Amino acid sequence: MALALLAALLGACGGQNAGDPAEAVRRYLTAKAAGDADGVRRGLCSALEASLEQETLAFKDLNARLEDMACTTNSAANTVTCTGQILLDYGGEVQTFPLAAYAVVQEDGVWKWCGEAR
């Protein structure tokens, strides 16, 4: 009986379900490409809050879009690696930039994008 009680307590203390780090990165990159300030704010880690405006305006007027994005989580390293690319329109000339590996952190029970992984 004590073992059952301990198991129930541990289950209850397991914390919030933080969700999928890869999905958090997908949401963040999608918001950034769209210039969605609220979406960027929700997905940005607190360590990078000072760069909110820069992150939000990074693709302003470039018709940014994500192509073939697929992301996987490396839980041991707190990183998410994404394949695919960002397409940017520079005055009619489309340039592509590959997606990369990104650092993620859990804050207030939610995964947040925290820059490119080192």
Domains and CATH numbers, the chain: 18-116 (3.10.450.100)
Question: Which parts of the chain register pLDDT below 50?
Answer: 1-16
Place of tokens 């999608």: 30
Helix (H) or strand (E) holding 88: strand 79-90
Q: What's residue 17's pLDDT?
A: 58
**Residues 87 and 65 sit within 8 Å (Cβ to Cβ):** yes
Q: What's residue 10's pLDDT?
A: 30
pTM of structure: 0.83
Q: What's residue 20's pLDDT?
A: 95
